[in-house]
Structure 1
Amino acid sequence: MNTNFLSLTIELCFGFFALLAMTKVLGKNQITQLTPFDFISALVLGELVGNAIYDKDIGLHYVLYAVVFWGFLIYGIEMITQKFRPSRPLLEGTPTLIISNGKIQYEALKRNKLDLDQLLHLLRDRGVFSVREVEFGVLETNGAVNVLRKHPYETPINSELNIPTKTVAFPVLLILDGEIITEGLTKLNKDESWLIDELYRQGLPGAKKILYAEWLEGEGLEIQTY
């Protein structure tokens, strides 16, 4: 019994890190731009590893083979679509214009098996609660809808409001869950003693009591305690 548990533990750990490594190799688009093909690929890859782990007749080398071979197939498809543009419509699909000049393209919805309730839901995900606000709507290959609003409903931009141009700074994380983030201090060319002094200046005894802290150029520290 103990041998079985040890074997299962080893296979689980091996499968976990093999999938983690494969995810790193395949890139973030497997998650952030999940197309139907990517979704099915992820399910199949998980199923292959799961069956390999729990089937007593299959060893670790089969787990490795399943992960590497399936990952190789996915990686190959990604390389083909990157190098050969004509292959993208076939392998990745193409975006579809489902709202054009403010009018819903019903035939395009039918081709993509999308009903009006689903369309309205996807629009609400983009902060659009009425079709009358939309000039163009595009159904992306990952199932999301991106919209271009009609001019009266567009958010004004700074140039339209004649707001003077100023440099945009990126916030730097300094403390998270009571732990000082040394990478953030390095970006600011500061050390921990500087941060501790800044905290004491605001009446805080140290980093342990702080849930979140960031530094923004021109505005200083933003601190939230537990």
Structure 2
Amino acid sequence: MNEYLLMFADAVFGFFALFVLVKVLGKTQISSLTPFDFISAIILGELVGNALFEKESGIPEIAFLVVVWGLLLYITEVVTQKFKGSRAVLEGRPSIVIHKGHLIYDVLKENRLDIDELQHLLRSKDVFSIEEVEYAVLEVDGTISVLKKPDYQTPTNSDLNVSPTPVKLGRTIVSDGEVLWDNLKEANLSKKWLEEELHKQNIAAVEDVFYAEWQENQQKLFTMLYHNKK
């Protein structure tokens, strides 16, 4: 029984230690995962995992591993910020795979990227034909950035001489049949207003709504009901 309690304590401590480490290192460690970050995450998980299942290891050993590895990652981040030359080695550098509408074969080969993979990445950017692309840059985290040819670019308000309107975020009001009262209050809306809006859309109860969003720009409530695949 004592062994299970010790394992439970080690697991809980390891969880919170890693959680704190991620918070300290910042969101960029997760949002833009470079190959170095990926390897670091695997090694850190392996170190903590081994410490959890080693009978001789406990909370002090896990804490030591997390602190040491956290310091190494922090030092690496400081080095890349202070010395620009180290960034290419530790983080890698972006690669131009399409230049002025032409595929750069040696860059694709260097990054072990074939045409099918490139097309997949382009489709994730709503580009379904390579002909539309003027420049494409393969980022260090494996994503791709695209600049379309002028003929395929979406015109902006300034291109059309249209006066811009203020942009406001949509606010979730109902999620999975439950009202998010904080969001409703922040939008200066009331329960009575919500019931009236749902009634206008022939919705009997909030519980029937899977998702509802207050679109302040258009001054309307967008709702989605529960629908099954059939």
Question: Shorter chain as normaliser: what TM range?
Answer: 0.7 to 0.9
What is the total number of aligned residue pairs between the two structures?
A: 225
- Work out the CA distance in 2 between the residues paired with 1:195 and 1:214: 11
Letter of the 1:221 counterpart = L
Counterpart position of 2:16? 17
Unpaired stretches in structure 2, ≥5 consecutive residues: none
Alpha-carbon spacing, 1:10–1:208, altered in 2? closer, same or farther (3 Å): farther
State which drifts further: 145-154 or 79-88. Answer: 79-88
Deviation at residue 200 of structure 1 after TM alignment? 5.0
Q: Tell me the alpha carbon deviations over residues 95-147 of structure 1, each in whole angstroms, 9 at most, x when there is no partner.
A: 11121111111222233233333323322332323322211111111111211
Counterpart position of 1:185? 184
State which drifts further: 132-141 or 194-203. Answer: 194-203
Counterpart position of 1:111? 110
Please provide the CA RMSD for this pair: 2.3
Partner SS for 2:165: coil
Counterpart position of 2:43? 44
- Work out the CA distance in 1 between the residues paired with 2:206 and 2:79: 49
Q: 5 Å matches for 1:67-86?
A: 67-86=66-85
Deviation at residue 203 of structure 1 after TM alignment? 5.0
State which drifts further: 122-131 or 165-174. Answer: 122-131
Partner SS for 1:142: coil
Deviation at residue 165 of structure 1 after TM alignment? 2.3
State which drifts further: 90-99 or 155-164. Answer: 155-164
Alpha-carbon spacing, 1:115–1:223, altered in 2? closer, same or farther (3 Å): closer
Sequence identity, in percent? 45
Q: 5 Å matches for 1:1-226?
A: 2-192=1-191, 194-196=193-195, 198-199=197-198, 202=201, 204=203, 206-217=205-216, 218-226=218-226
- Work out the CA distance in 2 between the residues paired with 1:159 and 1:177: 40
Letter of the 2:39 counterpart = I
TM-score (norm 2): 0.85
